[in-house]
């Protein structure tokens, strides 16, 4: 069988077809990653990062709700970690996870959270707060309460 394949591949026309196919595949893969045209794989990664970020926002809101009930006040990220409401990934004032940077403003009575992609070309911006815990989204800039909801 290998001999037959070797004979088939040695034919000049078949070699030319395989060479052309290789060139076409190479050009297509390069053009899909050209600036301004994000490839399919990158879009899939962005979508996965967004899904994880939305779940992370919900987890943070849940942690804030627990903190408010147990301690009587909301907390910042280090406070939520110290209280055992979030894991050590959130021990910094502006933690990063899943390709997103999280920032939070909190007082004893309220909080707001922003999640922005670390790569400016890689995803939407999200916002939620203690008023209604709805997630707002902005495709191009930092999200706020006035942006549309998911």
Query: What is the per-residue pLDDT across 11-35, written as a single tens digit (0 to 9) for each?
Result: 554 444 444 445 544 444 544 445 5
pLDDT in tens, 105-133: 999 999 999 999 998 767 899 999 999 88
> To which H or E segment does residue 124 belong?
none
Given this model, what pLDDT does residue 129 score? 96
Confidence of residue 44 (pLDDT cuts 50, 70, 90): low
The position carrying tokens 């794989």 is: 41
Distance CA 29, CA 25 (A): 6
Distances (CA, A) of 51 to 27, 69, 100: 31, 28, 11
* 61 CB neighbour count, 10 Å cutoff: 18
> What global pTM score does this model have?
0.71
Task: Find the helix or strand (DSSP H, E) in which 51 lies.
Answer: helix 40-71
Q: What single DSSP character describes residue 97?
A: E
């Amino acid at each position: 069988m290998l001999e037959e394949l070797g004979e088939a591949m040695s034919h000049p026309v078949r070699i030319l077809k395989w060479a052309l196919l290789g060139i076409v595949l190479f050009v297509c893969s390069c053009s899909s990653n050209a600036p301004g045209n994000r490839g399919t794989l990158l879009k899939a990664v962005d979508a996965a990062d967004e899904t994880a970020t939305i779940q992370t926002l919900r987890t943070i809101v849940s942690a804030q709700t627990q903190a408010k009930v147990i301690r009587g006040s909301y907390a910042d990220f280090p406070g939520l970690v110290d209280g055992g409401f979030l894991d050590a990934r959130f021990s910094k004032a502006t933690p990063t996870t899943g390709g997103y940077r999280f920032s939070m403003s909190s007082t004893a009575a309220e909080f707001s959270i922003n999640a922005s992609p670390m790569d400016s070309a890689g995803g939407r911006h999200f916002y939620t707060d203690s008023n209604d815990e709805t997630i707002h989204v902005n495709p191009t800039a930092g999200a706020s309460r006035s942006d549309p909801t998911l």
